[in-house]
Amino acid sequence: MTDPYRIRVSVRNNLILQRIEEAGHDSIAAFCRSSGINLSTMHQLLAMKISPVSATTGEWRKPVQMLAEELRCLPDDLFTDVQRTSKLERAFVERTMSEEQVQALAQSGLGQITDGRPDHALMKKKAAEILSVQLGRLLDPREQKAVRLYFDLDGDGPVTLADLGARLGGVSGTRAQQITAKAMRKLRHPRHAQELRGTLASFEPSLEPPP
């Protein structure tokens, strides 16, 4: 049986990301607009696709100098010795997982690994907005609410089955579970599942909820 989930883990330069966060920027794109740094070059530096040092001169590349100036630090503060002299051919790894493996991953707390990153948070928000439109076409209002609460699409925090039932009109936890299960059966219909995968595949990190 084919695993129903695909997980992607991306490698990024956290020294740069943390400086950008501390400077109060809402996203990588917003930071690039204010600093004049090319967005594509920034993503290459973050993913370590290019070396921050010129291979011909041995000097810091101009975008790196601009980045350090904007963040009020030295280029050496933004790259380790290894990051300075090497680059990654591939800055992510993908693997498939079963429903049990994804559930275990979520319960371990690793499902929150991208929280707090400005660009990841905005991408996740955008993906959730598009997913909301899809849910509106496929589910009735109560089923939509059940799925939104169950997967915390609005960022309000996790809920118990009792909480879920209360917010679905005072039904029991068992009934809330039944409503959610019915909604998920609709979403897992092959035709609908394909639509949802097509929507979420456009964003990183991917937003693939646990079962």
Helix or strand holding residue 7 (H, E)? strand 5-10
Query: Using one digit for the tens of pLDDT, what is the confidence trace for 33-91?
Result: 999 999 999 999 998 889 999 988 889 999 999 999 999 999 999 998 888 877 777 77
Query: Where in the chain are the domains?
Result: 10-85, 99-200
**Is pTM beyond 0.85 here?**
no
Given a cut of 50, the residues of the chain with pLDDT beneath it are 109-119, 122-123, 198-211
**CATH tag, 10-85:** 1.10.260
Candidates 1.10.10.10, 3.50.50.60, 1.10.3720.10, 2.60.40.10; CATH matching 99-200: 1.10.10.10
* Residues 65 and 75 sit within 8 Å (Cβ to Cβ): yes
Query: Using one digit for the tens of pLDDT, what is the confidence trace for 55-67?
Result: 888 899 999 999 9
Q: Which of 177, 199, 206, 188 is nearest to 139 (CA)?
A: 188
* Structure tokens belonging to residue 157: 């925090």
- The answer to whether domain 10-85 and domain 99-200 are alike in fold is no
The pLDDT value given to residue 146: 87
